[in-house]
Amino acid sequence: MNVDIDMQSEKWHMHFRPLFVLYDRKETTMTRKPIAFEDFRLRTHYLWHRQWLLLAAGDFKKKDYNVMTVGWGSCGTMWDKPFVMVVVRPTRYTFQFMNQYDSFTLSAFPRKYRKALEITGSTSGRDIDKINAAELTPISASKVTAPAFSEAELSLECKKIYWADFDPSKFLDDSIAGYYPQKDYHRMFFGEILSIKGSNAYTSKM
């Protein structure tokens, strides 16, 4: 199924109907180990554009958090810190959690969890318990309040260090405006990566 790369767009909601029969939950725990940033290996464009990530913000212990699937962002080095950048529209329920809390997590999953990410990208936490609908298992992260996930093959724990709203007057490519028919321009959040845990596929040090 082809979907718009922006998981937050109206096109996504028009083209996808959630499928709630997913996989055998008996086999859910992935083996992850700590990875130093110097040893972190990532197919950046593939990860965002094809594999997708699950963004989580809030406080797991207080049961006050939300998640959403994201397909746009970046990862690298800024101000001498390893960082990721995510973007969230103000219309998304996760937006309030990203503003309220000082940290977030990003999780990547094996291919068999694709339908789970479709559910978390096409439904709202305002309306349903979409983590339960996607049959994912939130767990405590090691350094931030937002949850990690038992099924993830990669978990990034991040502390917010910068945010800014997209300014349409500074779009240099005319096609960009077409992604915002409702003028709901993204807010971008930079997060310093505090912890990386992943499978061997994400490390250059075996």
What is residue 2's predicted lDDT score, i.e. its pLDDT? 29
In the beta sheet, which residues pair with residue 8?
Answer: none
Whether 35 has a pLDDT exceeding 90, the answer reads yes
pLDDT class of 204 with cuts at 50, 70, 90: confident
- The topology (CATH level 3) of 10-17+28-199 is Pnp Oxidase; Chain A (2.30.110)
**Nearest one of 197, 186, 194 to 90, comparing CA atoms:** 186
Cα separations in angstroms, 23 against 64, 135, 195: 26, 9, 28
pLDDT tens digits, one per residue of 132-175: 999 999 999 999 999 999 999 999 999 999 999 999 999 999 99
Whether 1 has a pLDDT exceeding 90, the answer reads no
Mean pLDDT of the chain: 88
What is residue 3's predicted lDDT score, i.e. its pLDDT? 31
Average pLDDT score over residue span 39-52: 95
Please tell me the distance from the alpha carbon of residue 194 to that of residue 154, in angstroms, as a whole number: 14
Structure-block tokens of residue 79: 């101000």
pLDDT class of 31 with cuts at 50, 70, 90: confident
Please tell me the distance from the alpha carbon of residue 19 to that of residue 118, in angstroms, as a whole number: 8
Please tell me the distance from the alpha carbon of residue 66 to that of residue 97, in angstroms, as a whole number: 7
Cα separations in angstroms, 139 against 57, 63, 92, 104, 130: 13, 11, 23, 13, 15
End-to-end CA separation in angstroms for the chain: 35
pLDDT tens digits, one per residue of 5-23: 354 443 443 333 333 334 4
Average pLDDT score over residue span 122-130: 94
pLDDT tens digits, one per residue of 53-62: 999 999 999 9
pLDDT class of 205 with cuts at 50, 70, 90: confident
What is residue 150's predicted lDDT score, i.e. its pLDDT? 97
Whether 70 has a pLDDT exceeding 60, the answer reads yes
In the beta sheet, which residues pair with residue 196?
Answer: 156
Structure-block tokens of residue 69: 């699937």
DSSP for 84-108?
Answer: EEEEE-TTSTHHHHHHHSSEEEEEE
